[in-house]
Amino acid sequence: MRADWFLPVLRTPKPDVPERPVGFLARTALRILPKSLFSDRATKKRGILRRVLRWLGPVWLAAPHRRIVQSLCFVAFLYFFFVTIWPYDATPSQSWTGWIPAEFDVDKNAVVLVSESGESTQPPSLEPGQSVFVRDDSVGMSGDPLIARFVVSSVAATEVHLKIDAVPAPAAGAGTTFEELSLSPGPWSIHESDPSAWPSHYADNLSRKEAVTAELFLVIDPLVSLSTGIASRSWVWSLACAGIILAACVFVPRGFCGYFCPLGTLIDVFDWAIGKRVTRFRVSGDGWWVHIKYYLLLGIVVAAFGGVLLSGIVSAIPVITRGLLFTLSPLQTGAATGWHQVPPMSLGHVVSLVLFFAVLGLGLLRPRFWCKYVCPSGAVFSLGNLFRTTERKVESSCINCNKCIEICPFDAIKPDFTTRTSDCTFCQSCGGVCPTHAIKFTDRWEVHGLKVENDPPTHETSLGRRGFLSASVGTASGILGGLLASSGTKAFGANLDGDGPRPVRPPGSVPEKEFLQMCIRCGECFQSCPSDVLQPLGFQQGLEGLWTPQVVADWAGCASSCNACGQVCPTGAIRALPLEEKRHARMGLAWINESTCLPFHGEACQLCVDECTAAGYDALEFITVGTEVDSLGLPIEGTGTLAPLLVPDKCVGCGLCQTRCYGINVTSKGLLEESAIIIKAGNDHEDRMMSGSYIERRKAEADQNTETGSSGSYLPEFLDKE
* pLDDT at residue 706, as a whole number: 79
Who contacts 160 (Cβ-Cβ below 8 Å, separation ≥6)? 99, 112, 113, 122, 123, 126, 152, 154, 190
Mean pLDDT of the chain: 87
Average the pLDDT over 598-602 and give the result.
89
Q: How confident is the model at residue 467 (pLDDT cuts 50, 70, 90)?
A: low
CA distances from 141 to 94, 647, 650 (A): 18, 22, 20
Burial (Cβ within 10 Å: 0-12, 13-18, ≥19) of residue 576: middle
Q: What percent of the chain has pLDDT over 90?
A: 59
- Of the listed ranges 377-391, 428-442, 704-718, the least confidently predicted one is 704-718
Strand partners, 103: 112
Q: What percent of the chain has pLDDT over 70?
A: 90
**Residue ranges of the chain that CATH labels 2.40.30:** 95-197
Q: Are 205 and 71 in contact (CB under 8 A)?
A: no
Q: Are 223 and 317 in contact (CB under 8 A)?
A: no
* pLDDT at residue 585, as a whole number: 94
Class of domain 584-721: alpha beta
Torsion of CA 296, 298, 299, 301, to 10 degrees: 120
Average the pLDDT over 291-320 and give the result.
94
Q: How many CB atoms lie within 10 A of CB 221?
A: 29
Assign 236 to helix, strand or coil. Answer: coil
Using the predicted structure, report yes or no on whether residue 702 has a pLDDT greater than 90.
no
* pLDDT at residue 171, as a whole number: 45
Q: How confident is the model at residue 713 (pLDDT cuts 50, 70, 90)?
A: low
Euclidean distance between CA atoms 583 and 591, whole angstroms: 19
Euclidean distance between CA atoms 97 and 193, whole angstroms: 14
* pLDDT at residue 36, as a whole number: 87
DSSP conformation class of 374 = I
Class of domain 512-581: alpha beta
* pLDDT at residue 42, as a whole number: 76
Q: How confident is the model at residue 546 (pLDDT cuts 50, 70, 90)?
A: very high
The secondary structure element, H or E, covering residue 631 is none
pLDDT in tens, 86-113: 999 998 888 888 888 888 888 888 888 8
* pLDDT at residue 394, as a whole number: 95
Euclidean distance between CA atoms 575 and 410, whole angstroms: 38
- Of the listed ranges 228-237, 284-293, 514-523, 711-720, the least confidently predicted one is 711-720
- Of the listed ranges 133-147, 394-408, 480-494, 521-535, the least confidently predicted one is 133-147
- Nearest partner of 677 among 612, 722, 618, 586, judged by Cα: 612
Assess whether the previous peptide bond of 187 is cis (omega < 30° from 0). yes
Helix crossing, 292-305 with 467-491: angle to 10°? 40
Assign 394 to helix, strand or coil. Answer: strand
The letter for the amino acid at 631 is S
Q: 159-164 and 147-155: which strand pairing?
A: antiparallel
* pLDDT at residue 106, as a whole number: 80
Task: State if pTM tops 0.75.
Answer: yes
* pLDDT at residue 472, as a whole number: 77
Domain covering 95-197 in this structure, CATH number: 2.40.30
Using the predicted structure, report yes or no on whether residue 671 has a pLDDT greater than 80.
yes
DSSP conformation class of 585 = -
Euclidean distance between CA atoms 550 and 564, whole angstroms: 15
Q: Helix (H) and strand (E) counts for the chain?
A: 29, 14
* pLDDT at residue 15, as a whole number: 67
Q: How confident is the model at residue 24 (pLDDT cuts 50, 70, 90)?
A: confident
Average the pLDDT over 387-399 and give the result.
94
* pLDDT at residue 719, as a whole number: 42
Backbone CA torsion sign across 296, 301, 305, 311: positive
**Residue ranges of the chain that CATH labels 3.30.70.20:** 512-581, 584-721
Q: How confident is the model at residue 175 (pLDDT cuts 50, 70, 90)?
A: low
Most confident range (mean pLDDT) of 34-43, 627-636, 656-665 is 656-665
What count of Cα atoms within 13 Å lies in the side-chain half-sphere of residue 207? 12
